[in-house]
Amino acid sequence: MSVHLKQDRPDTRNVLDKTRQGVIGAPLPRPEGLLKTTGTATYAAEYAAEGCLEGVLVTVPVVRGAVTAIDEEQVRAMPGVVAVLSDKRMTGRPAQGMAGEAPFQPAQEVCYWGQPVALVVAQSFEQARDAAKRLVVECRGEDAPLDPAAVDAEESESTRQGDLAHAMAEAAHSVDITVTTEGHASAAMEPHAALAQWDGERLTVHASLQMLKFNRAELADSLGLEQDQVRLLSPYVGGGFGSKLGVSQEVVAAALAAMQLGRPVRVVMSRQQVFQVVERRSETHQRVRLAADAQGRLTGFGHEARVSNLPGESFAEPVLQSSHLLYAGDNRLLRLEVARIHRMTAGSVRAPGEAVGVQTVEQAMDMLAAKAGIDPVELRLRNLPDKHPENGKAFSSRKLAECLERGAAAFGWEERPRAPRHTREGEWWIGTGMASAARVHSVVEAKARVTLRPGGTALVETDMTDIGTGTYAILGQVAGEMLGLAPADIEVRLGDTELPPGSGSGGSVGAASCGSAVFLACEGLRRKLAERLGINSDDLTLKDGFVRWSGGEKALPELLGNAPLDCVGHFEPGDSTQDLAVSSFGAFFAEVAVNRWTGETRVRRMTGAFGFGRVLNARTARSQCLGGMTWCIGNALTESLLFDPVDGHLANCDLAEYHVPVNRDVPDCEVLLLEERDAAASPIQAKGVGELGLCGGAGAIANAIHDACGARVFAYPMTPDRVLAAMPEG
């Protein structure tokens, strides 16, 4: 049995508000939490396979050119070495479609420093590592553009309405700033890893991946196999942050080696290789222009950005994504351009677009508030559009005003003139700042199977992944609420392409998409139970393992009998958002201390208020928001990819030199979850939360730095040297 819904209209039934189990939204712990915290959850590199060989990737030290020769003879003679494989499918991005490509040929193209070109396979990891270090790869290097500011760029996106230049000239108050952000690495805890096995007809790969149904298609395409010849397993993933959305080189290399050698092969990237090879967030160069009347209402809004990527890549960091809908202003210019340079591929990293775009707009809004003499919270409230400012669509729901007001109250925000250097504690200036948050919402097609077992328990199955976001918990809660079962009576199986294809984890689509698929499957089961009783499913109440209706009640096992009952839910996006603007919103408030002598910034406290539809699990949702706010601190103060301007190599390619926020950098953070029901967002009225907490918070910290010490810093991260240089004298 299956239930298919293509959501062509908002679902206003709010079914989950009428159920009685009481687990939806509850702050329940993750069912797999004990396994993870005790080290017994098995990750990709930890699976055992008899006779498994170990592979180590070999990369090239040129930024652009070609491989002319690989001297395999010397390393083949080293102890334990089984093979040296060089295949064009390990050179490009595997997801690009390399099926049928021949093994290494002279003049193999190289596009960036650190690109993998070979795999050394040996009996042990140590043998493979030592041999890989000694493998001589001869390259012909060529000059290549490395600086995105030094090359012509191509336009990727533009919106023009009215006359922004005229609005700026006539404005009572205006702001025109240019801000730069450095590139970012995903920096997931678990490195990229794969263990591949080939039985002559079918390939099985344990890998660290986010989007299995898409990854299966990518890997099959890369290897020239049919999709049903490939099985991927990723039941536990130690973080992804976008870096594992697509199949990367270690997966293809392990698969190729296993197929050629007839033995299992494991390939794990070193931390340095993860930084050098896996996709980055592009650096950005942004200009924001705001024009306002005497009351601080926007008459003009401009946001232009330059990003970079390799030649031929279609992705462009969507910096302007929420700028289109966040604030009003009739005269608008939004423009995105891409510079083609030779660094590793730029792709999705931690809330692509808004993570670096919203914070820049929020800096400009803070400056406008100061010029207009209006409190920063009030300025934003005055400029919230009643409808999408460019296409006129109504918002499906929007909690931004409430987030601003509730967040300000919880934080203790004072409406006062924002005069820098108002508070000093010893050698530290103390200041506060705030910013809005916004993240566009989307859903994708997803399937899930739910089975009611004879004993009165349930099984939820989908290839959806849990990358630390709480998928195991929330899918069990949706099923438990719909079927009247305690979470302990529900088993959730994830991360296997043998299961129904879910949405995958990326773009904050998972909870709404796969949650809706589970919801639909449970609706089908409820109808089936109602049919057995000869009643309408709307008359059913399922709670604590009992089925109740106006004529009586039965224990669920009694109604099921000895045979299981299952249903596949198939959710598909439709036209429900065609005439609506759907987004999640929030607000950040931060207090910082800035050292008057060194420019060091310490975040002392943060408050975030977020509205993202139905809260499916208050604990995991709060955790997601806390994680986003932590990354905001990294965006604002510490994180940057640093490339050598001469040869293009990444200079800080490990966690010692790429500075993610650590425990001492992160204060106690307060999270407010503002419940709402967005009928257009999904059948369960939920929207994405995973990335919202990262979209704008760095701007609140930047504004707090200015409030503390008077420094307006227009380059992220705002390191001590930059803050010190921007401090006004005296």
pLDDT of 245-273, one tens digit each? Answer: 999 999 999 999 999 999 999 999 999 99
Helix (H) or strand (E) holding 700: helix 697-709
Residue 315's identity, in one-letter code, is F
- In the predicted model, what is the mean pLDDT of residues 94-122? 71
Look up residue 165 and give its amino acid: A
pLDDT value for 96: 45
Neighbours of 536 (CB within 10 A): 11
- Identify the pLDDT of residue 65: 93
- Let me know: does 569 contact 596? Beta carbons within 8 Å: no
> H/E element holding 254?
helix 249-261
pLDDT surpassing 80 at residue 485: yes
H helices present in 497-617, as ranges: 510-533, 556-560
| CA-wise closest residue to 321 among 300, 352, 299 | 352
Please check whether the two domains, 44-62+64-143+187-277 and 154-183+281-441+582-726, share a CATH topology: yes
What the block records as the tokens of 506 is: 């990326």
Given the structure tokens 């009783």, which residue do they identify? Answer: 533
Write the CB contacts of 379 (distance below 8 Å, at least 6 apart in sequence).
296, 365, 368, 369, 372
Active site residue 691: yes
Q: Round to whole Å and give the CA distance between 207 and 252.
A: 10
Strands 116-122, 136-141: pairing is unpaired
133 backbone dihedrals φ, ψ, rounded to 5°: -65, -25
Locate the DSSP E strands across 574-654.
580-581, 583-595, 601-611
Average pLDDT for 47-71? 95
Q: Please list, in sequence order, all residues whose beta carbon lies within 8 angstroms of the beta carbon of residue 444, skipping any fewer than 6 positions away.
A: 503, 504, 509, 513, 573
> Is the pLDDT at 101 greater than 50, yes or no?
no
Beta-bridged to residue 493, according to DSSP, are 461
Q: What is 154-183+281-441+582-726's CATH number, 3.10.180.10, 3.40.30.10, 3.30.365.10, 3.30.420.40?
A: 3.30.365.10
Question: Sign (positive/negative) of CA torsion 244, 245, 249, 252?
Answer: positive
Q: What average pLDDT does range 375-392 have in this prediction?
A: 97
Tokens 């001492």 sit at which residue?
664
Helix (H, G, I), strand (E, B) or coil at 336: strand
pLDDT tier, 91 (very low <50, low <70, confident <90, very high otherwise): low
Task: Report the alpha-carbon distance of residue 538 to residue 18 in Å, rounded.
Answer: 10
pLDDT of residue 92: 62
Which of these, 211, 608, 250, 272, lies nearest to 408 by C-alpha position?
Answer: 608
pLDDT value at 98 more than 80: no
Mean pLDDT of 569-587: 95
CATH class for the region spanning 44-62+64-143+187-277? alpha beta
CA distances 145 to 25, 305, 330, 333, 664, Å, are: 51, 19, 38, 28, 39
Catalytic hit among 218, 670, 676, 691: 691
β-pairing verdict for 173-181 and 284-292: antiparallel
Mean pLDDT calculated for residue range 165-176: 98
Q: 118 and 655 in contact (C-beta within 8 Å)? A: no
CA atoms within 13 A on the CB side of 128: 25
Question: Using CA atoms, how far apart are residues 350 and 242, in angstroms rounded to an integer?
Answer: 6
708 Rama sector, left if φ>0, alpha if ψ -120 to 50, beta otherwise: alpha
CATH of domain 2-30+443-573: 3.30.365.10
Q: What are the residues facing 336 on neighbouring strands? A: 157, 305
**Does pLDDT of 426 surpass 70?**
yes
As beta bridge partners, residue 3 has 569
- Res 95 pLDDT > 80: no
Q: In this predicted structure, which of 86-100, 430-444, 585-599 has the lowest mean pLDDT?
A: 86-100
Q: Tokens for 583, please give them.
A: 């987004």
pLDDT average, residue stretch 66-81: 95
DSSP strand pairing (203-207 vs 230-233): parallel
Angle at which helix 471-483 crosses helix 618-633, to 10 degrees, equals 160
Q: Which two tokens stand for residue 492?
A: 């959730």
How many other β-carbons are positioned within 10 Å of the β-carbon of residue 165?
A: 14
**Which residues does 603 contact at the CB level (< 8 Å), separation at least 6?**
590, 591, 592, 633, 636, 637, 665, 666, 667, 701
Whose structure tokens read 């003879």? 73
Q: Which residues contact 121 (CB under 8 A, 6 or more apart)?
A: 53, 54, 55, 81, 82, 83, 84, 85, 128, 257, 261, 265
User: What six digits make up the tokens of 186?
Assistant: 């995903």
Taking all residues of the chain, what is their mean pLDDT, rounded to a whole number?
95
Contacts of 629 (CB under 8 A, 6+ apart): 588, 606, 608, 669, 671, 693, 694, 697
Contact by Cβ (8 Å): 173, 677: no
pTM over 0.85: yes
* Sign (positive or negative) of CA dihedral 40, 45, 49, 53: negative
Q: Count of residues for the chain?
A: 730
Region of 496 please: left (phi>0), alpha (psi -120 to 50) or beta.
Answer: beta
Our CA dihedral for 493, 240, 112, 74, rounded to 10 degrees, sits at -60
Say how far apart CA 355 and CA 588 lie, in whole Å: 13
| H/E run at residue 425 | strand 423-425
Where are the chain's structural domains? 2-30+443-573, 44-62+64-143+187-277, 154-183+281-441+582-726
Angle at 216 between CA 215 and CA 219, to 5 degrees: 80
Residue among 243, 249, 255 at smallest CA distance from 210: 243
Strands of the sheet with 65-71, listed across from one edge: 108-110, 65-71, 136-141
Distance, in Å, from the CA atom of 213 to the CA atom of 219, rounded to the nearest integer, reads 10
Q: How confident is the model at residue 103 (pLDDT cuts 50, 70, 90)?
A: very low
Residue 102 has pLDDT above 90, yes or no: no
